[in-house]
Structure 1
Amino acid sequence: MTPRLSVDFVDAGSVPATDRGLLYGDGLFETLRIVDGRMPLWERHAARLLAGCERLRFPPPDTTRLRAEVGRLVAGLTDAVARVTVTRGSGERGYAPPPSPRPTVVVAVSPLALDARAALDGIAVRVCDTRLAAQPLLAGLKHINRLEQVLARAEWSDPEIGEGLLRDIDGDIVSATAANLFAVFDGALVTPVVDRAGVAGVARAEVLAVRDVRVVRMNLARLLEADEVFLTSAVRGILPVRACEGRTWQAGPAARALQAHWRDIGLPSPTGRKDSDR
């Protein structure tokens, strides 16, 4: 199915060639799942989008109107994914931001199909050679410059590999290419810091809100000592990791409990297959 698209709340499929999102990656995006018209994590998506606009210093969109636009485009779809992109808008040539920016808002909605086996049996992951650069000014933001993730994802084509783990320049694990990471050590739940690189995912925020989690720096050797490892994504949900670098795991109690929480908030287990985002 062709995605349903709108630009600045009007059905359209293109933006001006002068848009700073296209020219410089000057913008933000959110990827959310909608089930039977419901958006269980909307408030977290909206809060992150507003905080990101403040950090990048351009006016935020009206999130009430934005939610209504997503709802309009998703009408008739029982399970869907929406990508909301907000850029600083068009401007003069050069890096200097326009003094009075008029942001561009793009919404794209598509039907969603996910791999049920990933949630049930877990996925195999690889460690990427591509490293994430340290940039505290952008760390945590879901900005639209994803070239590091593009390069990392280009490292493999094996369909048996479900994700790739990304490290920073010091060798610490940050996340997967399109998900955040959690591990369990002796019953304690931990997740990597994202203060120098990486995205502070919406699903990650949900887990931090409902579970006792330590936010730590963690290298690969330490990760491979974990009793349980899983990934989190606002669209794909909770994905147990079953294999990495020769180490294998079973889906553990922490992942299963959080999968139950996802069902409780209205995000059922997937029934098909498609890539998505955190």
Structure 2
Amino acid sequence: MRDLVIPICRLEKLFEDCLWAEGPAYMAGADCVVWSDIPNNRILQWVEGLGTRPLVSVSNYANGNTIDREGRLVSCEHQSRSVVRREHNGSRTVLASHFEGKRLNSPNDIVVRSDGSIWFTDPTYGILTDYEGERAEPEQEGCNVYRLDPETGELRAVVRSMVKPNGLAFSPDEDRLYVSDTGVSHLDGGPHHILAFDLNEQGLPENERVFAEISPGVPDGFRVDEFGNIWSSSGNGVQVFSPEGDFLGRIAVPEAVSNLTFGGPKNNRLFITATTSLYAIYVGVRGATRREVL
């Protein structure tokens, strides 16, 4: 862990006053961080030296966010039960809302692969109560991981075996997909682990296996650094695991961590959403970046 953290760097609290902070994403073009305050139905934006402002005042209870290859914000909305993209002109495009003719549950977390495909998880958290969305009966038979081709609109369920799929990320070479299952939140003895999948020649996940278990708390969201280490949320801070699944250490955070992302001009600043707040700390590595597609 000594090579991953910088002893003289301290954890900074950049903002508080959220009800449940989630889904941080770094927008390199604007050098800012955006994240969701789900129960307050808003997406916030933090800029160095300027502070925080609402980016989207009515977010449809957005949760996970990511940035696509064109620098556009792509979000998972609980209330609309859809994945949406915010265009450069400010308009909103719905990318996915139904699968096999039925409404999605409540898209949760999201990533974009180098080929432009959008991958997201779809547990039922946003339709269980009115606190983070709108209570409703699920129409899907299960909680799946999906792959969306934004060019054709094809939506494919690529993982159907999980209880409550949540965070997800790719290895630096994009040959491996990681997805967390936080089913323990509503199932006694349920999973609180990160699964690993190999991606076959068609780019589809196979060879499912447990990569690491998270305790206390759950692996709500996580990111991968340039060396393939996993930086995961937990109940006692950010827990770090090697590519082989060995526990390396943790960064203590005074609130339960929900999610995190790498950012900053050098991609070496870790931005952390934790319950009511946004935190940041400089670390000794850079976040993994998408490969260039020729």
Whether the TM-score (by the shorter chain) exceeds 0.5 is no
Structure in which a larger fraction of residues adopt helix: 1
Question: TM-score with structure 1 length normalisation?
Answer: 0.26
Greater relative contact order (CA < 8 Å, ≥ 6 in sequence): 1
Structure in which a larger fraction of residues adopt strand: 2
